[in-house]
Amino acid sequence: MARTEKELKSLEAKIKALERDFKNLSRSLKKFTRTQEQSKKRQEKIEKFVKVLGNDVRKLQEAQNTLEKSNAVLQRRMSDLTNVLKQIELLVRSIPTAKEEMYEKERLKALVAAELVKLYFQEIASRGFKRTLKLSEVINAYKFTIRRLEEGEKANHLEEIKKAIEEPREREKIGFSYTNKKGQTYYLHKRGKLYYFSRESHGSVPLPVGYYVKENPRTGMPVLKKK
């Protein structure tokens, strides 16, 4: 009987110990559950942060790519600008040279024209025509030669310069002319009080009042006679 009571008491004590252990286990389980929930929340926060961080990383990569492209474009523009600046510098340096070349070309053209005109006058002087030349004819011959040089043509033919001198003469007013039976045309000229006929039209004068022309039957030379 006594033994049975002792066993009951011992059993009760074990039950109480088990209850205490159960309570402790329950508290530990609750604590673990709370810790697990907190850990889960932390994990979710970490996942959200990682996601946001991943988006930020992608945006940063895109910005870096855009920056690299912009840098490449900027470098190309800088290279183009450098080339333009070099060309401008070369152009600026070449301006004095271009001016000198232009001046030299103009100087050479003037010299060539002057020499050609001089050569022509030397030729006609040898034929006795020098006394009929005027300053305007010299200037016209010179301008004509300059113009032909600027057009890129060779003005080394004296006939061309002669034409330039004779054109103004042909445009001048021509005086009285007479064509004989042989078909030869003569022009009336005056030197002092003396009238005479010449084949040269330049400097010819009108027929004076009270005079008429008589032709030499042998030579065909016209002679001015007073009525």
The Cα–Cα gap between 108 and 192 comes to 44
pLDDT band for 155, please (50, 70, 90 cuts): very low
Tens-digit pLDDT profile for residues 6-29 = 778 788 888 888 888 888 888 888
The Cα–Cα gap between 159 and 157 comes to 5
Q: Considering Cα of 97, then 103, then 106, then 108, what sign does the dihedral take?
A: negative
Mean of per-residue pLDDT scores for the chain: 77
List 223's β-bridge partners, or say none. Answer: 214
pLDDT band for 189, please (50, 70, 90 cuts): very high
pLDDT of residue 93: 73
Residues 6+ apart with CB under 8 A from 174: 187, 201, 204
pLDDT band for 198, please (50, 70, 90 cuts): very high
Which residue is associated with the tokens 């690299």? 68
- Please state the three-class secondary structure of the chain as a single string: CHHHHHHHHHHHHHHHHHHHHHHHHHHHHHHHHHHHHHHHHHHHHHHHHHHHHHHHHHHHHHHHHHHHHHHHHHHHHHHHHHHHHHHHHHHHHHHHHHHHHHHHHHHHHHHHHHHHHHHHHHHHHHCCCHHHCCHHHHHHHHHHHHHHHHCCCCCCCHHHHHHHHHHHHHHCCCCCEEECCCCCEEEEEEECCEEEEECCCCCCCCCCCCEEEEECCCCCCEEEEEC
pLDDT band for 201, please (50, 70, 90 cuts): confident
The Cα–Cα gap between 115 and 123 comes to 12
Residue 115 pLDDT > 80, yes or no?
no
Give per-residue burial for 173-197: e unless 16+ CB within 10 Å, then b: eebbebebeeeeebbbbeeeeebeb
